Every structure is written in C-alpha cells, then in structure tokens.
C-alpha cells in the first residue's frame, strides 16, 4: 500500500546552520526558508535525486516540534513520510490493522499542500510516520 518515500524530516534548533551544513559540507541544493505558521515550523527543503529532506525549525510558542527538541537538543530525525494513493483508504486499512492515527483521524493539508495523516510512533517501532496522498 505505501509507495515512495516522500521525505525524511529532521528537526533542528538553528535552521540556517543546518542549511549551511547541507549546502557546504554535503553539497546539497538547499531551498530558501519557508515559514509555515499553520504548522508551527519553518522549513527548508533539500531535493535529492530520489527523495527530499525537510529541515524543520520551531515557529511560534506552540510549535509541535518544541518538545522533541527539548528531548533531542542536537536535533534529530522527527518523522518519515510515505506516499499513498488514497489517504482515506490507507487510513481505514491501517486502523483495521490496529494502527493508531494521531489527532481526530481526518487528513489535514500538509506542508506541500496535500492531505496528510500522522501515525502513532509506538505502532511503528518508535518512528513517527506521515502519510501523504501523492
Ligand atoms: Co513531513
């Protein structure tokens, strides 16, 4: 059911420092910073030939990644995102298998303007999983 790896999201305390490391040390093409107030993050996108990396920095007082950065002060992998063709069908199948969907269970429009859902990390080996309708 899941398709391509859409992105790996890495939470960082200092977005510009992280962008410099990806650009100068790793030689990656790095986007401008994009504030996403609806999601409580500022993002920088790194396009790789086969997937994307998203660098996430907290934005605003109630950022959903603030607690994660308290626990992981050096930053860390926050979630991975898999593409699905039909997000509601994928959700229903996963729920039928016992997986927990975070929030109210309804898809929200994510950082790429497409419907997304998050799945409970305890059901996926300690990894927060995002599903995005491709
Ligand atoms: Co994501």
Summarised one tens digit per residue, pLDDT across range 71-123 is: 999 999 999 999 999 999 999 999 999 999 999 999 999 888 899 999 999 99
Radius of gyration of the CA atoms of the chain, in A: 15
- Are the CB atoms for 19 and 101 separated by under 8 Å? no
The domain ranges of the chain are 2-133
Q: What percent of the chain has pLDDT over 90?
A: 93
Q: Phi-psi region for residue 4, left (φ > 0), alpha (ψ -120 to 50) or beta?
A: beta
Mean pLDDT of 30-52: 95
Centroid of ligand 1 to alpha carbon of 111 (angstroms): 7
2-133 placed in CATH 3.30.70.100: no
**Could you tell me which residues are beta bridge partners of residue 115?**
109
Distance 97 CA to ligand 1 centre (A): 23
**pTM of the predicted model as reported, rounded to 2 decimal places:** 0.93
Is 130 among the catalytic positions?
yes
The predicted structure's pLDDT at residue 86: 97
Q: Rounded CA gap, 58 and 41, in Å? A: 5
Ligand 1 centroid from CA 72, angstroms: 18
Ligand 1 midpoint to CA 5 (Å): 11
Produce one character per residue of 51-80: b if its CB has 16 or more CB atoms within 10 Å, e if not: ebbbbbbbbeeebbbeebbeeeeebeebbb
**CA distance linking residue 106 with residue 94, whole number of Å:** 13
The residue to which tokens 């977005």 are assigned: 15
The tokens 């603030």 sit on which residue?
66
**Catalytic one among 54, 57, 83, 130?**
130
């Amino acid at each position: 059911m899941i398709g391509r790896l859409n992105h790996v999201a890495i939470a960082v305390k200092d977005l510009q420092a992280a962008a410099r490391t990806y650009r100068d040390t790793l030689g990656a093409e790095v986007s401008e910073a994009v504030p996403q107030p609806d999601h409580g993050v500022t993002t920088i996108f790194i396009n790789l030939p086969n997937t994307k990396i998203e660098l996430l920095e907290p934005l605003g007082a109630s950022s959903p990644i603030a607690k994660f950065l308290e626990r992981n002060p050096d930053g860390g992998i926050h979630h991975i995102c898999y593409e699905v063709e039909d997000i509601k069908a994928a959700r229903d199948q996963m729920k039928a298998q016992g997986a927990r969907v975070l929030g109210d269970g309804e898809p929200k429009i994510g950082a790429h303007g497409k419907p997304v859902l998050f799945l409970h990390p305890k059901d996926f080996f300690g990894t927060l999983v995002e599903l995005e309708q491709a």
